[in-house]
Amino acid sequence: MSSITGLQVKSLRIGVEPVEVELDEDAGILWTSLQTAFPGCSGMYYREIGDSCKKSVKFDGKKFMAPGGAWNDREYFVTLSQRCHTAAGNSGHTASYSDATKQFEKSVQAVQKMMLASGMKIDMSHLTKKRQHTSSRETASSTSSSTVTPDPIQAIEERSQMLKTAGRELSPLEQQFLDLCRISTAKDQIIDANRQEITKMNETLRILEKNLKETETNLSEANAMVDCKQQELEMVSEALKRLEESRHTISELNRKSGNLEENVTELQMKLMNVEEENHGLKAQLETSHNRIKEMSDTISMLTSSKDILSKELDQLRPFADAAGIEDYENIPTFIHAIQENKELRKTNENMKLQSEETKDNHKQMQSIHTEVFEENAKLRNRNEDLERRFAHVDDELACVNENWAKELKEKQQDWDKVKYAAESEVLSLREQLVHLQSILESATREAAENARRVSELEHERHEVRRLSDAMHIKAQVSGSPVHRLSSSIRF
């Protein structure tokens, strides 16, 4: 009952505390260390982030290997598969191969006791030595190489030879014991061979995984190289675009240069026309100057004549007045001369104005001619500079295009070689992986076959035990045959 709420508790949540297990020298977890931390565990698994599927940790028969070569920061779990206590109390069924081996040792020891009771002395200590830890087994094998231990099979075979020379045969119990020892030895050899084969396969798998990682690294480097080449291709395409823009600009400049040349030609034609007009105006100006000069001379002559006539008229007027004489004939001539003088003055003023306008026009034409000539010289110099630059740019662009084409071809060849090598390596690794999978499947089938053989051996062990019990009972019931058997064995 709960002391807080007063309600009945129907279920409890029981958890297993996490345990820190130390890694060995090869960054693996020994099976014995895991069994010590979690008694009854049968395996390890983990989950990737965002993945609900379990992933088992590799086990080579002795220790668990890091997935992918590194443990990283994952959460690992163990699988508990300890049998229940009711099943543990049943002596007729074994839970694992170790229990079957212990039961087999007990049976062999019982047979040994029975045979010792009958008088046969055989050392069976080697059977227990074979089922110790790997390190203790290697130590025992190294020490046993220096000391000779008695072999029960050899003893029984020597006994059989002696009986054959005497014209006798082994008893059924001795023959069954000999077969049992041979089966046990063959079983241990098969198990050791399978363990060695599994170890070799695991080493091969690790090597292949390492090669696969190296290949993946090379492939990533090749992909990075491909990305670099792609960027270089983009740069080349950008340079080609700029080249096209430069060519377009050059064509525009050439077109503008042609237009400028046409404008220069038109300006030159206009300048020639202006020069011709200037020459005409100069000729007209000279003619006007000549006429003005002539008219000035005429005016000066008329003015001097007028002055003389005026003086003469002033001198003669008193006489004319006094005499009453009037010269009517010279009056119209004088009036006409005065009018002509006025007209000549007006003409002189007009000619002066035209001369000034002509001078202004001449100055304007000279300034326009100077500006056009300077602009024409600048345009010619710029045209020559552009032609030199464009010729140099065409050469440089052609050289750059050739270099880029060569480098692109070489990079493409290198990339094809790297890609072909990577694909061939991946294909070979896949073939090796398929081969190793087939080997692993065959090893699994052999392990299943060995398990079946173990069950058969267990059944035979039960039969031997039953026969040994029957023989023991028979020996106890009838003592004389046992004495004869013991005396024959001692012999």
Q: Does 211 lie in the same domain as 138?
A: yes
Please report the pLDDT score of residue 491 as a whole number. Answer: 42
**Shared domain check, 419 and 441:** no
Q: In the listed set 401, 426, 451, which residue is the last one of a domain according to the structure?
A: 426
Considering only CA atoms, which of 433, 430, 429 is closest in space to residue 441?
433
Give the pLDDT score at 327: 54
Question: Which mean pLDDT values do the consecutive 10-residue runs of the chain (491 residues) have?
Answer: 53 82 86 84 84 86 84 83 48 55 73 63 47 45 42 60 65 70 77 84 85 83 81 80 79 77 79 79 78 78 76 66 54 64 81 80 77 80 77 74 80 82 80 81 80 82 80 64 45 42
Choose one of 381, 402, 426: the last residue of a domain: 426
Distance of CA 218 to the CA centre of its chain: 9
Q: Are residues 415 and 466 in the same domain?
A: no
330 lies in a domain? no
What pLDDT score does 89 carry? 44
Note whether residue 235 is domain-resident.
no
Residue numbers of the domain that contains 62: 29-80
Identify the helix (H) or strand (E) that includes residue 46: strand 41-46
In a shared domain, residues 277 and 188: no
- Residue 166, pLDDT score: 62
Residues 412 and 444 in one domain: no
Whether residue 148 is found in the same domain as residue 191: yes
Q: Number of folded domains in the chain?
A: 3
- Per DSSP, the three-state class of 59 is strand
Fill in the amino acid letter for 142: S
In a domain, 156, yes or no: yes
Q: Domain check: are 222 and 171 in the same one?
A: yes
Query: What is the model's pLDDT at position 322?
Result: 59
In whole angstroms, what is the distance from residue 464 CA to residue 458 CA?
A: 10
Residues 222 and 103 in one domain: yes
Q: Is residue 114 part of a domain?
A: yes
So what's the pLDDT on residue 93?
A: 42
What are the C-alpha distances in Å from 253 to residues 241, 246, 257, 261, 372?
A: 18, 10, 6, 12, 21
Same domain, 273 and 363: yes
Sequence-distant (≥ 6) Cβ neighbours of residue 74 within 8 angstroms: 46, 47, 48
Answer yes or no: is 4 within a domain. Answer: no
What's the pLDDT at 403?
Answer: 80
Q: Residue 478 has what pLDDT?
A: 57
The kind and range of the H/E element at 78 are strand 76-80
On whether both 163 and 122 belong to a single domain, the answer is yes
Q: Does residue 436 share a domain with residue 411?
A: no
pLDDT of residue 259: 77
